[in-house]
């Protein structure tokens, strides 16, 4: 069911968006060579406890997950791009790290993600990693710009896809954006490729997560033996960018702006 939020409810969602931005900023600052992924998860967990918020991930167990997630943040490294389950891994110079985080504050959820290179770029990878990350960010900006009253979900999808295709990337549509509200995942689904002018009409009060993600040389993924982490089938790197936005008569509001 697609739900529309009142202006007051959108205001009530702002603290969740600000907190998600704060956590991602803190985790990014802490993600240095030698730091363990489990340390990053514990940092996010400590911030959740201090804020009195509720994790959207720790008990999350959808059909595609092997078991409840058990951690509070997704950490996807290099060829992993989505749902990266934090584990005993010390970050290395040049790793491409994607962090995804969703949390509930006062009963409202916000969801956001970013990708970056840890430390110094790996030899020979500076330009390719920068292009991959920047393309995901530009696609996110294009998707948000298309999220205006009178457009349709397909307009967001088409805007994201154009940026990705123009950069030479193929696009997987198994996972994409989604409705956000009292729960982390709701309707409508917002694919990262689609036809403009098609799909659900964008109306004031619709709150969605827009989340383009690209893999360097494939659009095929497989699930790691951990039962969660999604990796590229050919071992190429991935990047992921995401914001929670509210659609209003005056244009989209980015609730998770950093």
* Binding residue ranges: 83, 100, 111, 178, 185, 211, 242
Reduced to 3 states, what is the DSSP secondary structure of residue 51? Answer: helix
The long-range contacts involving 160-163, CB below 8 angstroms and separated by at least 24 positions, are 160/192, 160/193, 160/210, 160/212, 161/192, 161/193, 161/194, 163/135, 163/138, 163/139, 163/212
| Helices then strands, each counted (H, E), the chain | 4, 14
The binding site for substrate consists of 83, 185
Q: Which tokens go with 102?
A: 């969703």
Q: What phi, psi does 55 have (nearest 5°)?
A: -65, 140
Q: Which tokens go with 250?
A: 């005056």
- Residue 247's DSSP bridge partners are 252
The binding site for a divalent metal cation consists of 100, 111, 178, 211, 242
CA 117, 175, 136: angle at the middle one, nearest 5? Answer: 35
CA 161, 189, 223: angle at the middle one, nearest 5? Answer: 80
């Amino acid at each position: 069911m697609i739900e529309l939020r009142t202006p007051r409810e959108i205001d009530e969602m702002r603290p969740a968006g600000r907190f998600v931005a704060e956590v991602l900023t803190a985790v990014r600052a802490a993600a240095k060579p030698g730091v363990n992924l489990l340390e990053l998860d514990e940092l996010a967990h400590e911030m959740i406890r201090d804020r009195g918020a509720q994790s959207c991930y720790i008990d999350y167990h959808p059909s595609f997950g092997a078991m409840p997630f058990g951690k509070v943040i997704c950490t996807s490294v290099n060829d992993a791009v989505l749902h990266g389950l934090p584990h005993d891994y010390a970050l290395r110079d040049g790793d491409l790290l994607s962090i995804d985080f969703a949390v509930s504050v006062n009963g409202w959820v916000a969801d956001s993600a970013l990708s970056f290179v840890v430390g110094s770029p790996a030899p020979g990878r500076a330009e390719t990693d920068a292009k991959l990350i920047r393309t995901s960010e530009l696609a996110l900006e294009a998707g948000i710009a298309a999220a205006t009253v009178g457009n349709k979900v397909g307009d967001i999808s088409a805007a994201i896809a154009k940026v990705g295709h123009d950069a030479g990337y193929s696009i997987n549509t198994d996972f994409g954006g989604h409705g956000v509200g009292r729960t982390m995942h709701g309707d409508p689904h917002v694919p990262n490729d689609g036809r403009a002018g098609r799909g659900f009409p964008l109306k004031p009060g619709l709150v969605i997560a827009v989340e383009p993600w690209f893999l360097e040389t494939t659009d095929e993924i497989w699930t790691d033996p951990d039962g969660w982490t999604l990796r590229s089938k050919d071992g190429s790197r991935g990047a992921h960018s995401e914001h929670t936005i509210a659609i209003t008569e005056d244009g989209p509001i980015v609730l998770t702006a950093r």
